Each structure stands twice: as C-alpha cells, then as structure tokens.
C-alpha cells in the first residue's frame, strides 16, 4: 500500500533581525505592548531578497538534505500571499532556478492557511495524477506589503520561507490521515492586501497603478480564529476516527500566542502540546507552520510515528487542518 510521507523539511529566514525595541525608534509602540498582546519579540525582515529568493534557498536545502535529483520532482507548489509577481508564479521561478525541469509548478493563495490548503492539493495530485514527488514551500515577503506607518499591523509580521519534500511511496508508516478546509468569503474584507482597482476610463494612458498595503480588523480576525480553529481541528480529528488525545502536537499558524493558548483551552488540551515560535519570527503567514515543523523535527521534539494536527487560519477568511502521521 502506498502512503504519503513528509520525507524532508527545511527553512530559511533572511539574516536581518528586527526586535521590538527597533520598531519603537520610528513607531509609537513598545516592547511591552507587542510582547503582551502577541508574544512576538523579534522578526526577520528580508532586504534585497524576493519571495522566490527565500523559496529557492529552502528548495536548495531540501535537495541537499534529500540528495534527490531535481529532475525527479513532479510538482512544485509555493503557498504565498506575497508572490514575486502576478505572473510568473513564484513556484515557476523556483523551478527554473533549481532546474527541476519535469515539475508542474504553480502558486496558491490562501494567506496564512496556504500551507494547509497546499497539503491537501499535494495529497490529491499525488494520489490522482500518478505523481510521486512534490515540493511544497510556504514563502513570504510580508514586509513589502506592510504600511510601516500602521502600528496595528506593522509589528505583527515577519519574512521567511519553509517547506517539505512530500512523497507517495511504498514501505512507509507515515501517512496523511485527514483534512478539513473551510472558507468564509463573506468576511473577506477583514484581512486584505494588494487590492487592485479596475480601470475608471478607457483608454487610461496616464494612470499610475497602485496596490493597497496590508489592512486587518485584528479583533474580528481574533474572534474568527478562536471560533473556527478549534472547530476545524475537531472536524479533522473526527474524520480521522481519532480523539484529541491521540494528537501528539498541534502545529498551529503562529499569528498570536494568545490565540494559540485560547485554542488549547477550548479543546481542553495541555498547552505543552501547542508549540510556539512566534517570539522569534512573528507571523510569517504561509511559511509559519512548516517553519515550526522543521524546527521541531530538528530539535527532536517531533519524531517519526507521531500524530500531528497542522492548522492554519487567515485571509480569505480561510481555515484548515491537516492530520498526518509523521
Ligand atoms: N503598539 C501600541 N499600541 C497599539 C499597537 C501597537 N503596535 N497597535 C494597536 N495599538 C493600540 C490601539 O490603537 C488600541 O488603542 P485604544 O484602546 O486607545 O484605541 C489598543 O492598542 C488596543 O488595540 P486592539 O486592536 O483592540 O488590540 P488587540 O488586543 O485586539 O490586539 C491584535 C491586536 C494583536 C492584532 C489582535 O487583535 C490579533 O492578534 N488579532 C488576530 C490577528 C491574526 O490572527 N491574524 C491572522 C491572520 S494574518 C494573515 O492571514 C496573513
């Protein structure tokens, strides 16, 4: 029987580290406000590196770790809300740079749920299209979408990328067990970035096209996340015929440590089962779950055979959970 395995993981964050104190030099905020309300202490900010540059670093690390020939990749997906361009897809740029000539490539846009949506797409494509090897990367350059004069969003986000090589293979105990995805489009306006306006007249020869920066109704998104994430986890656990106690770790999108603790409380689960690394990276959107997963694998917390629930939530509004046996 063939199963789906996360075979290798990797992460890359740009070298520039900006702590909360640094933000107070040009913004009316404080380390105390940011730490207490969000759990964030510092974030990495990319200078002169694009979303594709970050993703390519992860892709190269994955190829080095695995020893796989890039030509053996059938699929490359990049989950991102801050792509290099509307076209080409960031995944296509990565493919070109690592010479993975046989891979089909595209990006997906589901904001902070992008990696979780990506896991379901990878699973479906491996199972239904006779593919064997996929690379799924979450890569974000959110610093370029932020209005650095808006303290209510600017303090929250960081740049980074992380991902995995995912394989359909015989003789593995790993498996993708169940998933739950949900989209609430009528709450879309609570979190937006890069809105483009239609033409106002034709021909429009002298207008300068502009795109909006990141805007979020933090309170509404907080309420949405603490309501929807526990429900999504419960649906995925139920589909898997498991109980919450069977889950070794809940790897949640790192948007706010208060949200994560609230989800643990609602599910009546020990907070220890909800690892947190938002203090070092801020909210890295689609990169956040694989970034945390890679750290936990590297430091030995997550081991082969463990059952993990990965959950994301964010723009769309979107929410999703994917349960795997690692
Ligand atoms: N520094 C200091 N004060 C600030 C800052 C700041 N950086 N930002 C806002 N404030 C002030 C506000 O002006 C307000 O002041 P007032 O009471 O005088 O009006 C006060 O702090 C409280 O502001 P709130 O927005 O009500 O603060 P809240 O406790 O709700 O925390 C936060 C805000 C952290 C954004 C929270 O609502 C949150 O985490 N929301 C969820 C965000 C999220 O999960 N996003 C995930 C998706 S992201 C994606 O998809 C890409």
Q: Report the catalytic residues.
A: 112, 253, 283
Q: Where are the beta strands (DSSP E) in the chain?
A: 3-12, 17-19, 42-44, 75-79, 104-108, 133-140, 160-169, 175-183, 191-192, 215-216, 249-252, 307-314, 318-325
Where is pLDDT greater, at 143 or 208?
Answer: 143
Residue nearest (by alpha carbon) to ligand 1 atom 36: 218
| Domains within the chain, CATH numbers bracketed | 3-174 (3.40.47.10), 176-325 (3.40.47.10)
Residue 209 has pLDDT above 80, yes or no: no
Instruction: Identify which of 38, 113, 152 to mutate to test ligand 1's pocket (most ligand atoms within 8 A of the CB).
Output: 152
Nearest CA to ligand 1 atom 44: 255
To 5 degrees, how large is the angle CA 104–CA 106–CA 107? 155
Check whether 197 has a pLDDT greater than 90: no
Element (H, E) at 168: strand 160-169
β-strand partners of 311? 252, 321
Two tokens at 101? 């000539």
**CA separation (Å) from 280 to 118, 141, 222, 295?**
24, 16, 21, 12
**From ligand 1's centre to the CA of 289, what distance in Å?**
22
Residues with CB under 6 A from ligand 1: 29, 33-34, 37-38, 111-112, 151-152, 155, 191, 218-219, 221-222, 225, 255-256, 259, 283, 285, 314-315
- Could you give the percent of the chain with pLDDT greater than 90? 95
Query: pLDDT for 33-90, tens place per residue?
Result: 999 999 999 999 999 999 999 999 999 999 999 999 999 999 999 999 999 999 999 9
pLDDT digits (tens, 9 = 90+) for 86-133: 999 999 999 999 999 999 999 999 999 999 999 999 999 999 999 999
Q: Average model confidence (pLDDT) for the chain?
A: 97
């Amino acid at each position: 029987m063939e199963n789906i395995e996360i075979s290798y993981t990797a992460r890359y964050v740009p070298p520039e580290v900006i702590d909360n104190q640094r933000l107070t030099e040009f913004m009316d905020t404080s380390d105390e406000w940011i730490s207490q309300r969000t759990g964030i202490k510092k974030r990495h900010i990319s200078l002169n590196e694009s979303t594709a540059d970050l993703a390519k670093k992860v892709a190269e690390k994955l190829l080095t770790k695995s020893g796989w020939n890039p030509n053996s990749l059938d699929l490359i997906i990049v989950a991102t809300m801050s792509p290099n361009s509307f076209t080409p897809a960031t995944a296509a740029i990565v493919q070109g740079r690592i010479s993975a000539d046989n891979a089909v490539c595209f990006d997906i846009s589901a904001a902070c749920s992008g990696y979780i949506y990506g896991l379901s797409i990878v699973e479906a494509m491996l199972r239904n299209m006779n593919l064997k090897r996929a690379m799924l990367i979450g890569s974000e350059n959110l610093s370029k979408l932020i209005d650095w004069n808006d303290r209510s969003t600017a303090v929250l986000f960081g740049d980074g990328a992380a991902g995995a090589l995912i394989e359909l293979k015989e003789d593995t105990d790993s498996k993708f067990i169940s998933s739950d995805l949900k989209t609430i489009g009528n709450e879309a306006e609570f979190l937006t970035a890069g809105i483009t306006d239609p033409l106002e007249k034709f021909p429009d020869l002298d207008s300068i096209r502009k795109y909006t920066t990141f805007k979020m109704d933090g309170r509404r998104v907080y309420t949405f996340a603490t309501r929807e994430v526990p429900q999504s986890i419960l649906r995925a656990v139920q589909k898997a015929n498991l109980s919450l106690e069977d889950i070794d770790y809940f790897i949640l999108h790192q948007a706010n440590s208060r949200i994560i603790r609230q989800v643990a409380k609602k599910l009546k689960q020990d907070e220890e089962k909800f690892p947190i690394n938002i203090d070092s990276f801020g909210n890295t959107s689609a990169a956040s779950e694989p970034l945390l997963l890679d750290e936990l694998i590297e430091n030995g917390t997550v081991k082969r055979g463990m059952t993990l629930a990965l959950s994301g939530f964010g723009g769309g509004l979107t929410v999703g959970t994917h349960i795997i046996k690692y």
